[in-house]
Amino acid sequence: MTRRSGSCIRICLVTFAIVSALCVSGPAIYWKFKKGFSFNKSSSSSVVCNPCVCDCPPPLSLLKLAPGLANLSVTDCGKDDPDLKEEMEKQFVDLLSEELKLQETVGDEHMRHMNITFGEARRVAAQYQKEAEKCNTATETCEQAREQAEALMRQEKKITLLWEKRARQLGWAGE
């Protein structure tokens, strides 16, 4: 099933490539056949075009299209807006100092956010550390209990063997 679908895909791709090549080069081949193949340069240079006759009017200028656009010195633009007027009257140094204050404010806000995030990360790390210590303590306690249980079991086996030995000496045959 996989081989069959693989060969089907291959055939589709080859067909697509051939159709694409014909679509790209087809018009050029068509015009070559229509004009005829000419390998002689003298026959192709014999084709002479007539000179173009243009009685076009001159292009319209910007002044004729929109006379108001040519006057770019607008002096009273925004004179009624007090905020804009105040902003335009500020000196370059004032604008730079205002920009620096804004950048400082943004930097302080960013630093505050980083400090909050860092404090939160420390708190979470400390909580995980406490949990890890609890887990380690519990593991140590379990290990000690296991060792004690193994020691008690060895002692019980010794006592059991001792009683079994005495029972055999007294005539017990076993199971």
pLDDT, one tens digit per residue, over 4-17 is 778 888 899 999 99
Confidence (pLDDT) at 171: 87
- The model's confidence at residue 75, banded by pLDDT at 50, 70 and 90, is low
* Mean pLDDT of the region 71-80: 60
What does the alpha-carbon distance between residue 137 and residue 64 come to, in Å, rounded to a whole number? 92
Return all residues near 106 (Cβ < 8 A) that are at least 6 apart: none
E runs forming strands in 25-154: none
Confidence (pLDDT) at 81: 78
Contact assessment for residue 43 and residue 36, using Cβ atoms and an 8 Å cutoff = no
In the numeric block, the tokens 């019980």 are attached to 156
Confidence (pLDDT) at 43: 47
Average pLDDT over all residues of the chain? 82
Helix-then-strand count for the chain, H and E: 6, 0
* Mean pLDDT of the region 142-161: 96
Contact assessment for residue 78 and residue 84, using Cβ atoms and an 8 Å cutoff = yes
Task: Kindly tell me if the per-residue pLDDT of 147 is higher than 90.
Answer: yes
pLDDT, one tens digit per residue, over 9-51 is 889 999 999 999 888 888 888 887 787 765 554 444 455 667 7
* Mean pLDDT of the region 62-74: 61
Contact assessment for residue 44 and residue 38, using Cβ atoms and an 8 Å cutoff = yes
What does the alpha-carbon distance between residue 32 and residue 38 come to, in Å, rounded to a whole number? 9
**DSSP secondary structure, 95-150, as one string:** HHHHHHHHHHHHHHHHHHHHHHHHHHHHHHHHHHHHHHHHHHHHHHHHHHHHHHHH
Which of 9-23, 59-73, 78-92 shows the lowest mean pLDDT across its residues? 59-73
pLDDT, one tens digit per residue, over 90-122 is 777 788 888 999 999 999 999 999 999 999 999
